[in-house]
Amino acid sequence: MDNLIRILRSFSEGEEDKAFTENFVDILKGKVMTDVQRMYERGLTFRDNKVVFPPPWESIYASLKEIGFFKRFIPVNFGGNRTNEENIYFIMELLGYTCPSLGIIFVAHSRAIDLILAGKDEAQKKKFISRLRDGDFGAIAMTEERAGSDATAIEFSATKEGDYYIFNGEKTFVSNAGLASIYTILVNTRGKKGGRSLSVFVVEDKAEGFRLGVLSEKDGFKILPTGKLIYKNCLVPKENLVGDEGRGLLLALDAIDKGRILLAGVACGLGYRIFDEVFKYSRKRIQFDHPLTTSQDISFKMSDMHTQINAARGLCFHALKQINSPCYRSASSQAKLFATQMVTSVAQLGLMIMGGRAYFKNNIISLLSADARGMEYLEGTSSMQKMIISRELFKSYT
């Protein structure tokens, strides 16, 4: 963890930034690291369209808000202090290390912010971004029962009537469902299948006709709220349309491009955490009169783990350097593809080194491995990343 903290410190500029970093590190080293396993074991419950977290979530949330953590994701001209993307990336590594669910919560939150910022209506941006700056959570809802990897199959209907759009449909697998008070939603405004029929809206959780649907329990990310958003004849004001009608898919894909590198950061942080836990264990575990680390097979497995994590991180650093260049889409997809596959394979090696203990519920490595396994689904599966990479690659060669 110290290695991750050191690099975050090196990307903190100015007194205010440095003070923030120290406060942030204190919260992670204290409350989060101490209680993450207990929170994961207790999990989440849902009540009255809201999610209920186990303690000490409220205290973690209050501390993060107090140090201005929510402002980190907001540009300076909207009252935030999003100074550089590297800084946010290294924050995500630390969240991935200490509590991957928290990492995903903030990846989803930051994607909602990017999506709203991609719109054109300054009053709309001001209204919603200020709330996300001050501690409200955001979410992005694209997936439907029949539209997963293929967003062009989205059927959720939004029909215009006067000054409103009438929402009817369901979104599923939505991160931050029940936590967010601001949902960005990709819907079909033309009634025809296809990307040009899709538009983005920003919708508050209090909207009449909205209800939260609960999904069955996940294997991992035990304190990441994931649920269904169900809308029945819900009236959404026309000024909640983000950008132009029919341009929603492009806006959403751009926001996801930005979020992908943060997700890769969570994967790298999680990889280092698994490595550290496994190392701690294998140094203490005596078999054949020696610690496990003295076995060449174990030490080679650990070398492989560390090499893979560092390689993934190298791709992330490369992608961070491409932000604002035409190569960024491909670079961030490569980083996400490699880092999320890496963390699954690192977890698999970790499980082997931990022996039978890791097969039992609530062992730290089994908890972290379940998170690792979930990483590949987010922001487009590995196959979808390969689709993006090959498309961009072929474009650059022709």
Say whether residue 381 binds ligand FAD (CB under 6 A). yes
Contacts of 125 (CB under 8 A, 6+ apart): 78, 116, 117, 119
Q: Which C-beta is closer to ligand FAD: that of 316 or that of 337?
A: 337
Judged by CB under 6 A, the residue of 331, 349, 378, 389 near ligand FAD is 378
262 binds ligand FAD (CB under 6 A): no
Q: Which is nearer to ligand FAD, 119 or 374 (CB)?
A: 374
CA distance 104 to 225: 10
Q: Smallest distance from the beta carbon of 311 to ligand FAD, in angstroms?
A: 23
Q: Mark 205-234 with x for binding to ligand FAD (rule: CB under 6 A) and - for no binding.
A: ----------------x----x--------
Cβ 172 to ligand FAD shortest distance, Å: 8
256 is a site residue for ligand FAD (CB under 6 A): no
Q: Whose Cβ is closer to ligand FAD: residue 230's or residue 327's?
A: 230
Minimum Å distance from CB 123 to ligand FAD?
A: 26
Alpha-carbon distance values, 118 to 20, 101, 310 (Å): 27, 26, 33
Counting contacts by CB under 6 A, is residue 96 touching ligand FAD? no
**329-368 mask for ligand FAD (x: CB under 6 A)?**
----------------------------------------
Which 151-210 residues touch ligand FAD, going by CB under 6 A? 173-175
Instruction: Note whether 142 binds ligand FAD by CB under 6 A.
Output: yes
For residue 384, the minimal CB distance to ligand FAD (Å) is 6
Cα 298 from Cα 315, distance rounded (Å): 26
Q: Which long-range contacts (CB under 8 A, 24 or more apart) does 204-207 make?
A: 205/49, 205/180, 205/181, 206/181, 207/167, 207/231, 207/234, 207/235, 207/236
- For ligand FAD, which residue has the nearest CB? 148
Which range touches ligand FAD (CB under 6 A), out of 63-71, 320-328, 344-352, 376-384? Answer: 376-384
DSSP string, 197-266: GEEEEEEETT-TTEEEEEPPPPSS-TTS-EEEEEEEEEEEEGGGEESSTT-HHHHHHHHHHHHHHHHHHH
Cα–Cα distance, 26 to 308 (Å, whole number): 28
Report the residue from 8, 141, 200, 353 that binds ligand FAD according to the rule CB under 6 A. 141
- Beta bridge partner(s), residue 212: 229
Give me the helices (H) in the chain, please: 2-10, 14-27, 33-42, 57-66, 85-98, 100-117, 122-133, 248-284, 296-321, 328-354, 364-374, 382-397
* Positions in the binding site for ligand FAD (CB under 6 A): 108, 140-143, 148-149, 173-175, 221, 226, 374, 377-378, 380-381, 383-384
